[in-house]
Amino acid sequence: MQLTSKTLRNIFFATAASFVVMACSQESDTGASSTSSGSAASYNLTLDMTEFMAHVVEPIADTLWKSAGWILDENEGYYELYPTDDAGWENVHNHGAMIVEAGNLMMLPGRAVDGAWMTYSEAISTVGGRIMTAADAQNKEDLFQAGAQLYSVCSACHQAYNPEIMSRFQP
């Protein structure tokens, strides 16, 4: 059976949507930040959200997505993207940790938009933890699934907060 790219995209988005529901439904504790004296903390928010995404989140996510899955092309044939040694898996673990913290940075006062934004940010951190766990176990399937969850959360958030980006990917 030959699957078209449109069919594969539809299957992927249907699967991705289910991951968003799972990731966003998890409960977490988001306490307010303050200094030890009890006054509100001051954060350096030099990067606006567009710059933060372009310079922090996207490079981390791209590295992760290039570390899981398979490619079949006319020239190279079939090959896997997964790490092949301990250093490669450590790199994935480190980028998973960066995704955890990127989600936290998105929740800072001055960046957090509303409750849904907080839910997406928490989901990104949760998925980052799953990436770290998969890397520690060197589990290719779990890494692939966590990468799909990361894509789903990012896509859902972009649909809610930046529809111009998502319109470029729609048929």
The predicted-structure confidence for 160-170, as pLDDT tens digits, reads as follows 988 676 556 55
**Average pLDDT rounded to a whole number, residues 63-67:** 95
pLDDT for residue 38: 52
Residue 19, pLDDT above cutoff 80: no
* Both tokens assigned to 133: 């766990």
pTM for the structure as a whole: 0.72
CATH number of the domain located at residue range(s) 46-165 in this protein: 1.20.120
3-state DSSP call for residue 42? coil
pLDDT for residue 24: 44
How many Cβ atoms from other residues are within 10 Å of residue 16's Cβ? Answer: 18
**Average pLDDT rounded to a whole number, residues 71-97:** 93
User: Quick one: which of 118, 112, 100 has its CA closest to 45?
Assistant: 112
Residue 76, pLDDT above cutoff 80: yes
109 contacts: CB under 8 Å, gap ≥ 6: 33, 40, 41, 43
CA distance 101 to 143: 18
Residue 25, pLDDT above cutoff 70: no
3-state DSSP call for residue 47? coil
**Average pLDDT rounded to a whole number, residues 136-148:** 97
Q: Per mean pLDDT, which range of 26-30, 77-81, 161-165 is the poorest?
A: 26-30
Residue 45, pLDDT above cutoff 80: yes
Residues in the chain: 171
pLDDT for residue 143: 97
Residue 146, pLDDT above cutoff 90: yes
111 contacts: CB under 8 Å, gap ≥ 6: 45, 49, 52, 105
Phi, psi for residue 79 in degrees, rounded to 5: -155, 155
CA distance 124 to 103: 5
Cβ(21)–Cβ(13) below 8 Å? no
Write down the mean pLDDT value for the chain: 80
CA distance 148 to 134: 13
Q: What percent of the chain has pLDDT over 90?
A: 56
* Both tokens assigned to 46: 């030099």
pLDDT for residue 73: 86
